[in-house]
Chains A and B, each alone.
Chain A
Amino acid sequence: MNALPVARLQFATTTSFHFLFVLLTLGLVTLVAVMQTRWTLGGKPELLRMTRFWGRLYVINYALGIVTGIVMEFQFGLTWTGLSAFAGDVFGAPLAIETLVAFFLESTFLGLWIFGFGRLPEWLHLTLIWLVTLTAYASALFIMLANSFLQNPVGSRLEGGTLHLDDFGALFSNPALVASLPHVLSAALVTGGFFVVGVSAYHFLKRTTEVEFFRRSMRIGVVAALVGSIFVVNQGFAQFGELKMYQPDKLGGAAVGAPLGAMIALGFAMFLCAILGTLLLVRNWLTKARFLHYLMVAAIPLPFLAAIAGWLVRELGRQPWLVWGKLRTADAIADVPAGQILFSFIAFSLLFAALAVADWVLMARVAKRGPEPVGDPGVPAELPVLSGV
């Protein structure tokens, strides 16, 4: 048995799961931070309940983002040892910075935020959610920076068979990063926006009594979805020009065609949905436009599908290179028996699939349940204890 396809499939599966969760994490935390900011600035009490409700969904989603991220990080050392041996002096730096500055701090601040509800001064608590948001964005920056280096190894020189770091600043101005980072960030915003709009639309379909709560949520979600989808389409096409500079043949490959077409089609579908969604902002249509509500519920998965397609385009298009033009994927694989890699691939895939389904079922149930009734600050009925979010 050949270990290479199994190891590649294992990394692709882990990364795909990771991507599905961090995308929503990034988008949703931004909207939660906006809600909490508006409440702290003296907004309606609905905004605090919104912060709690959407924050609760955010926290459930966050859990799987962490665990899939840990497995991804370990896989560089488990199966792709050739990468660290060849390019570790360059590639290792952004990855290490990501874990220290972003991941590590993000989790610490998130813990403080969860346990600071109603305990910390309002401004300090608001600062915490913004710190969580900023560190999440920093995470995206450094990971995209590391990935862009694989796409287009700038700022380094080949010497004695390994890559050496010349100019760390050049990694930031990498053409592979400049257009793709806004593309990914706006994709996250779209994902968060469609999620909030879809869940709110579901509650209108169920003739919720929380009209004010979901009207406000939907307004924030629609704006995020519209702004995000304008940027995501724009930055998507902006990459065609950049690509000519570093991977001119990328989009010609057979493997890339189908996901590229799917991503572009989904991108325009989401743009259309977002424009139709703005019709919901017309005050009286909001609770009545049932056709639009059905559409918005159905649109929740679209950004996730588009993101996976986009990731396939970027990564399949890089093959057969791991570091473009410098290191072949086949030369980077670790000297581990194929049987062991197959075992880990099956085990990780089954575990992630089970956890992902459980996580989504949990989110769906919490989302369907809706916010806690007014006057009940999140106290579960059967226990005399308080819950954070």
Chain B
Amino acid sequence: MVTFFWCLLGLLTCGYFALAGYDYGVGMLLPAFEADERRRRQTLGALGPFFLANEVWLVAAVGVLFGAFPHLEGKVFAGAYVLVVTLLLGLVTFTASMQLRSRRPDARRGAWTAGIVGGALVTALSWGLFLGNLVLGLPPTGDVLAFFNPYAVLWGLGFVALFCLQGSAFLAVRAPAELTGRAVRLARAFSAPVVAFLVIATVWGFFALSGVTALGVGVAVLTFVAFAVFRLALAARRFRVALVGSMVLSACPALLTGTLRFPTVLVSSAYTLRVEEAATASGTFAVLAWFAVPAVLVLLVVQWLTWRAHRHPLDQRSLLHF
């Protein structure tokens, strides 16, 4: 049961990064497209039908973290307090700006647009810093500045590039036909920084960490495979395959933090926490399973149907909303 819920938590967390990653990517890439309102609406409109459903994967993941692993949640969040707070500030700004930006036809929207771009950037940076620190161990020894150690900063910058890459792959699939060329060029441009991040983070991690599980090594391999699939599919102009490759790629860092030392789930200078110690009681697991399993199944089906219905690029008939 413990392992099952650890996998469920992994599914929700990876789902969040695979889906919401391109939301932030598209948000950060807004300045790369012409500033006229029509273009902006089309770029944001590409996200439209998926946006609300993508963001809440995080809410569900944190809910399962709290319900199934109450003894881990506090250590992870309070242990990286400043980073989680900046993450939330970015996330709130991005999500609210996105939803409120286009609600009035005749209104000025500059501030909301800035909120989308800035919020997405802060979110991406904070996620990278947070996960980078989580890989090394939480909380880091030292004061607040210890969160901004070189390895974590590398992850922060790497996440910005990673989400931008994913966002451009998404736009290649969903943006109107006249924007596809621009999206593909952006996807190529972000490949170099992403590959640099992956290689440096892997080699550095190889020397900095000890006791990495075989599963963790497998995830590291998967990361490079996903990147290769992305590049090959992009070259072959199979944009949907490239998008799936970039989504798997974005989910890999989170997958890595969950498998790196499993069944140890958290290390710090003072202690190590194993998954059984982090877990709730077996009776609570049974209650959770009754609700969680059907809910996640319904959700996967409904979101899959949403994807099927909106898999084509935007056209003149598309509802934009955002």
Contact = CB atoms under 8 A, between A and B. Distances in A.
Interface in B290-322: 291-292, 295-296, 298-299, 302-303, 306, 310, 316-321
A203 interface: no
A340 B86 CA distance: 11
B94 to A, nearest CB: 9
Contacts of B88: 70-71, 74, 348
B85 interface: yes
Contact of A70 (B41, B50, B58, B320): B58
Interface string B87-120: 0110111011001101111110000000000000
A108 B68 CA distance: 23
A71 B77 CA distance: 12
Given A63-B96, A66-B55, A343-B85, A108 B302 contact: yes
B155 to A, nearest CB: 20
A348 B89 contact: yes
Given A88-B71, A340-B82, A388-B321, A99 B92 contact: no
Interface stretch (B157-165, B197-205, B218-226, B277-285): B277-285
B49 interface: yes
A165 B287 CA distance: 10
Interface residues of A, number: 81
Nearest to B99: A63
Contacts of B91: 67, 70
Contacts of B71: 84-85, 88
Contact of A119 (B75, B92, B302, B319): B319
A362 interface: yes
A108 B99 CA distance: 14
Interface stretch (B59-67, B185-193, B207-215, B234-242): B59-67
Contact of A111 (B49, B106, B288): B49
B70 interface: yes
B59 A382 contact: no
B306 A351 contact: no
B315 to A, nearest CB: 10
B76 interface: yes
Given A93-B287, A104-B60, A115 B321 contact: yes
Interface string B223-264: 000000000000000000000000000000000000000000
Contacts, number: 251
A78 B59 contact: no
Chain B binding surface SS class: helix
B56 A77 contact: no
Contacts of A79: 78
A100 B281 contact: no
B67 to A, nearest CB: 2
Given A79-B78, A165-B284, A105 B298 contact: yes
A110 interface: yes
Interface string A49-79: 0000000100110111011111101101111
A237 to B, nearest CB: 33
B21 interface: no
B144 interface: yes
B37 interface: yes
Contacts of B302: 105, 108-109, 112
Contacts of A100: 60, 63-64, 291-292, 295-296
A331 interface: no
A374 to B, nearest CB: 17
A105 B95 contact: no
B56 A103 contact: yes
A77 B59 contact: no
A90 B284 contact: yes
A41 interface: no
Nearest to A66: B95
Given A71-B88, A81-B74, A381 B59 contact: no
B131 to A, nearest CB: 16
Given A78-B78, A100-B291, A388-B319, A355 B96 contact: yes
A264 interface: no
A170 to B, nearest CB: 12
B25 interface: no
A358 interface: yes
Interface in A331-367: 334-336, 340-341, 343-344, 347-348, 351-352, 355, 358-359, 362, 365-366
The 4 closest A-B pairs by CB, nearest first: A88-B70, A96-B67, A99-B63, A81-B74
13 contacts: A60-B100, A81-B75, A96-B68, A100-B291, A100-B292, A104-B56, A104-B63, A104-B295, A105-B298, A107-B53, A115-B319, A355-B93, A383-B105
